[in-house]
């Protein structure tokens, strides 16, 4: 396999770092194609890796690649100019964001360990925490899809892979699994995503008609009581 990395603007340095620790290893300058051998020698053989793109005066962009699959992948980065008011070392949410990211990485690393031990229920418990705290983290749903597939819960696995692809359209493994399960089950993955997201709406959140789910439940209870009378 190979990993193609493009950026706008070009001439940005590309780095790879294994999840759970390890040093950043420079593997090329955009646009670049990284061979499987180069990825492995940079730490990608042991599991998921971060691919980072660095360019002077631009914010660092980072993507988590959960599986180095035996297929070609392409990553496209649109770099954003660094905020002049904060700078690279300036104040703001930088430290808080880094701490949150580290927590998510630690959880994902624990999930991978549980999967390797076939402790799927424990892995799902950790993924539930990730879903609640970081609901838009694509890797969470990709790992969840893999576990549910192994547990033969194919419809739930399809929903998870479709969610992963929604939050990271560049995820090749999620796209392959979503397409395969859609063909096998004859179900639209995007429809399952919409159903899942409706269930995830908090009780006090207003729906399209302006009434909250909590209020709608109260109204239904009153109607039932009247019918009984």
Please write the tens of the pLDDT for every residue from 50-85: 788 999 888 888 877 766 555 577 788 878 877 644
Region(s) of the chain under CATH 1.25.40.10: 96-200
Question: Within 10 Å of residue 155's Cβ, how many Cβ atoms?
Answer: 13
Please write the tens of the pLDDT for every residue from 93-123: 455 555 666 777 778 888 888 888 888 999 9
Region(s) of the chain under CATH 2.60.40: 2-78
CATH architecture of the region 96-200? Alpha Horseshoe (1.25)
CATH class name, domain 2-78: mainly beta
CB 164 within 8 A of CB 69: no
What is the reported pTM? 0.51
Q: Mind giving me the DSSP string for 130-198?
A: HHHH-TT-HHHHHHHHHHHHHTT-HHHHHHHHHHHHHH-TT-HHHHHHHHHHHHHHT--HHHHHHHHHH
Distance CA 23, CA 203 (A): 44
Question: Within 10 Å of residue 152's Cβ, how many Cβ atoms?
Answer: 8
Beta strands (DSSP E) in 2-84 are 2-8, 13-18, 25-29, 32-35, 49-54, 61-65, 73-78
């Amino acid at each position: 396999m190979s990993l193609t990395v493009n950026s706008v603007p070009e001439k940005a340095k590309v780095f790879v770092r294994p999840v759970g620790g390890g040093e950043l290893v420079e593997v090329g300058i955009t646009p670049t194609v990284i061979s499987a051998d180069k990825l492995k020698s940079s730490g990608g053989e042991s599991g998921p890796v971060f691919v980072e793109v660095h360019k002077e005066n631009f914010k660092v962009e980072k993507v988590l690649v959960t599986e180095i699959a035996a297929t070609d992948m392409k990553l496209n980065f649109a770099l954003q100019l660094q905020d002049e008011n904060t700078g690279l070392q300036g104040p703001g949410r930088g430290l808080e964001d880094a701490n949150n990211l580290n927590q998510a990485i630690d959880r994902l690393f624990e999930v991978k360990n549980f999967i390797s031990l076939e402790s799927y229920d424990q892995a799902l418990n950790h993924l539930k925490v990730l879903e609640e705290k970081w609901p838009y983290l694509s890797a969470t749903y990709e790992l969840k899809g893999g576990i549910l597939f192994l547990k033969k819960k194919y419809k739930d696995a399809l929903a998870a892979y479709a969610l992963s692809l929604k939050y990271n359209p560049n995820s090749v493994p999620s796209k392959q699994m979503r397409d395969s399960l859609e063909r096998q089950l004859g179900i639209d993955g995007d429809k399952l995503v919409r159903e899942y997201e409706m269930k995830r709406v908090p009780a006090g959140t207003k729906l399209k008609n302006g009434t909250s789910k909590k209020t709608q439940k109260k109204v239904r209870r009153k109607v039932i009581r009247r019918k009984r009378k």
